[in-house]
A and B are shown apart, each in its own frame.
Chain A
Amino acid sequence: MRYTRPVLVALIALMPLVCMPAVVAAVEDKTVINVGSKSFTESVVLGEIIRQLAQAEGLQSPHQAQLGGTRVLWNALLAGEIDVYAEYTGTLMQETLVAEKLTGLDDLEQALRARDLRMTAPLGFNNTYALGVKDDLAQQRDLHAISDLRQHPDLKLGFSSEFMDRADGWPGLQRRYQLPQQDVRGLDHDLAYRGVASGSLHVIDLYATDAEIEYYGLNVLQDDLNYFPAYHAIIVYRAELESRAPQVVRALQQLGGKIDAANMINMNAKVKLQGDSEAKVAREFLAATFNIDTAIQSESVWQRFFRHSREHLLLVLISLSAAIVVSVPLGIWAARQPRVGQLILGVVGIIQTIPSLALFVFMIPLLGIGGPPAVVALFLYSLLPIVRNTYAGLNDIPLHMRESAEALGLPSAERLRVIELPLATRSILAGIKTSAVINVGTAPLAALIGAGGYGQPILTGIRLDDTGLILQGAIPAAVLALAVQGLFEGLERYLLPRGLVGNAI
């Protein structure tokens, strides 16, 4: 009876690993076009338009909505993780491909061709960057152009995280205009609007087609030194689509010049201010512009909840059980060989110090986007507590106890199995509990790289300023963390030998 327990634990731990291939499959399919979008509303709306166009041509076109920033989308496109997304000329020319010093659309097209990428004609609007201040502040300080900011070093600046670091963002802007402000912080673009509305920020970056400019009564400061380039929206896609799905490429090309600025602002406003879904807005646009009627399968709240739950549970189960299967032997190895042990503990310790968000993004070049890189990142993140607790649990067994086992004449492997591991059970399980909570708590970030889960509604909720949506992700994630904790408490009660309950060794 007693010896069946470790076997049982191993089986439970291995089960999700067996399911893994099923998750990884279903990626490569010729008739599928993977659409991506960045994590702001306009990009998601354009992504929806692309998706529905492809769908109208009879293709399956999963939309990996709000995957992250430019880097993530660009790399995913190059790697073939996605086939198509909406981009801006300025972003490509001034940031992504800045080293190539491109000067016009023809240059850009050449540069894309060299990477087996293609672009459509500009869609018809220029979503340039701009700086905005609230109306009353603009009047009070007499602000009309960006140059005027030079006289007001006390103003607080808040820029979207991407703008903070981009070659065509804040660093260049500050140099061009010689701006003196010290209080400059990076934050999520959607949150910046709320910051400026509440007065905690004075100047923020805007996208010219943001619906919030009008909604929050913001003054757009004139770019009097002509710093910002044009950011014409285009659609970039992989060249192979031309042979794989020529009808879709034709449909995408037709979008050229069909969306003007007013139109785009209007669509953004419908999503952000009226609460329409991106799918609905895209459908209305396609119906009005091309007379295409796409049936959008709308997911009910429960369907969505179950999908997110399934994705989240799968992420957690696979990564955590893999971590258990790997960490316990690593911890044993570390305890048995002190020198190797220091190395093992050092390496897993260093992994733990990598910020979780960075770890997710590091995985993209290696494993692309979606489930697998997220699972690997979560797996790496779950190692340290289990390794360290296994190591400590074995090392903390009193010498006289270890010697008693040795003096009986039990071989080393047998001592480990019947004496040392059972005595370290409590410590090992405590490590697993810690890992599980870290894992469940970190898993929502996986939505940033397209792995779905409870992070998805949280991200969307932040973007749309929809607290209800945020809670749809946050509450189940918290409940899951508690449930996992409870599960392991129960497992501990079952696994911990009666002789160890309530007693120190």
Chain B
Amino acid sequence: MLELTQIAKQFNGSVALHALDLNFAHNTTTVLIGPSGCGKSTLLRMIAGLVQPDSGSIRFEGEPLTRDNINDLRHRMGYVIQEGGLFPHLTVQGNVTLMARYLKWPVARIDARLQELAQLVRLTPDMFTRYPAELSGGQRQRVSLMRALMLDPDVLLLDEPLGALDPMIRYELQQELRDIFKQIDKTVVMVTHDIAEAAFFADKLADSIVLLREGRVVQQGSLRDLVQSPAEPFVGQFMTAQREPLEHLQKVLR
């Protein structure tokens, strides 16, 4: 589906991504994970065409991303960011249907799709006329997901979609989100820094976790691969750092 070949990027002389190759197969979920500054967000923004690679190419179903075709290809990719990125001056409905209206979809089709997506993300129609400022954090992310899915894209790009939510809501939305992904058959690329969340979403056989560090892919594989056969000591350190507080907590409670 998506094929990244030898893409590299520098920002002001410091390397954000070393030349790396990655493939995202059709209908799989790939989670990009790693410490801050490892390049995982840059990678995602590159796929969305928001950042241009210095070298290398990105192909979407074999077609290279260029300045000319990027807007058409973007219609086939949904993009959700941490705070939702909803436009504050537009209502829920305005945000979700923005692109469909620009593409001159018939009103009936827009309405039908809106209802369908609302059901999918469990949002009631009375929310449609609200503005983003009048929504809770969790509701905002649901709306953002609706907006990303409006044109029924092939690819869904998620940049820490649950990062700004409090733990309870986050847990609840994780479950829902995974259910949604199971229903819709999309190629999902998700960025997170939380290994539990990564494992939770990349739970199919074909799914994988990509651990990045300082602009390089350290290891790609399932959670089991990462735990049982770490490619280098850093993989173990990264897993331990995330697990340790919880184990400490369990010890205290015991």
Contact = CB atoms under 8 A, between A and B. Distances in A.
Given A406-B50, A409-B75, A499-B90, A414 B131 contact: no
A292 B203 CA distance: 108
B155 to A, nearest CB: 11
B131 A409 contact: no
A408 B79 contact: yes
Contacts of B157: 407
Interface of A is mostly: helix
Interface stretch (A130-138, A416-424, A478-486): A416-424
B56 interface: no
Contacts of A405: 87
Nearest to B45: A403
A500 B88 contact: yes
A503 B71 contact: no
B6 interface: no
A418 B98 CA distance: 9
Contacts of B74: 406-409
Contacts of A21: none
Nearest to A419: B87
B88 A400 contact: no
A27 to B, nearest CB: 46
B22 to A, nearest CB: 19
B43 to A, nearest CB: 14
Nearest to A423: B89
A409 B131 CA distance: 22
A347 interface: no
A403 B99 contact: no
Contacts of B82: 400
Contact of A499 (B45, B85, B98, B131): B131
A269 to B, nearest CB: 66
A403 B50 contact: yes
A408 B99 contact: yes
A391 to B, nearest CB: 19
Contacts of B94: 2
Interface residues of A, number: 24
B81 A410 contact: no
Interface residues of B, number: 31
A149 B132 CA distance: 78
Contact of A400 (B81, B98, B133): B81
Contacts of A422: 89
Interface centre among B71, B73, B94 (most CB of A within 10 A): B71
A476 B131 CA distance: 42
A298 interface: no
Interface string A3-22: 00000000000000000000
A497 B50 contact: no
A496 to B, nearest CB: 8
B50 A409 contact: no
Contacts of B48: 403, 406-407
Contacts of A503: 88, 133
Contact of B99 (A410, A497, A500): A410
Interface string A385-419: 00000000000000011011111111100100011
Interface in B54-87: 70-75, 77, 79, 81-83, 85-87
A497 B50 CA distance: 27
A324 B254 CA distance: 70
Contacts of B75: 409
B102 interface: yes
B102 A400 contact: no
A310 to B, nearest CB: 38
B91 interface: yes
Nearest to A499: B131
A339 interface: no
Nearest to A406: B50
A499 B102 contact: no
A401 B75 CA distance: 18
Given A418-B98, A498-B131, A404 B81 contact: yes
A499 B91 contact: yes
Nearest to B76: A409
Contacts of A97: none
Given A404-B81, A408-B79, A499 B89 contact: yes
A119 to B, nearest CB: 67
A352 B250 CA distance: 68
Given A407-B74, A409-B74, A410-B99, A400 B83 contact: yes
Contacts of B49: 406-407
A496 B88 CA distance: 11
Contacts of A500: 88-89
Contact of A423 (B70, B71, B87, B132): B87
A414 B50 contact: no
Contacts of B79: 404, 407-408
Nearest to B157: A407
A357 interface: no
A499 B131 CA distance: 5
Contacts of B81: 400, 403-404
B99 A499 contact: no
Contacts of B86: 404
B87 A404 contact: yes
Interface in A6-49: none
A273 interface: no
Contacts of A425: 89
A419 B102 CA distance: 12
A498 B87 CA distance: 12
Contacts of B77: 407
Most buried by A among B45, B87, B94, B133: B87
A408 B98 contact: yes
Interface in A490-505: 497-500, 503, 505
B102 A414 contact: yes
Interface of B: 45, 48-50, 70-75, 77, 79, 81-83, 85-91, 94, 98-99, 102, 131-133, 147, 157
5 A-B pairs with least C-beta separation: A409-B74, A404-B85, A499-B131, A497-B89, A407-B79
16 contacts: A403-B81, A404-B81, A406-B49, A406-B50, A406-B74, A407-B79, A408-B98, A409-B70, A409-B71, A409-B74, A409-B75, A410-B102, A419-B87, A423-B87, A497-B89, A500-B88
Given A408-B98, A500-B88, 18 more contacts: A400-B81, A406-B48, A406-B49, A407-B74, A407-B77, A409-B71, A409-B73, A409-B74, A410-B99, A410-B102, A414-B102, A418-B102, A419-B87, A423-B87, A423-B89, A499-B132, A499-B133, A505-B88
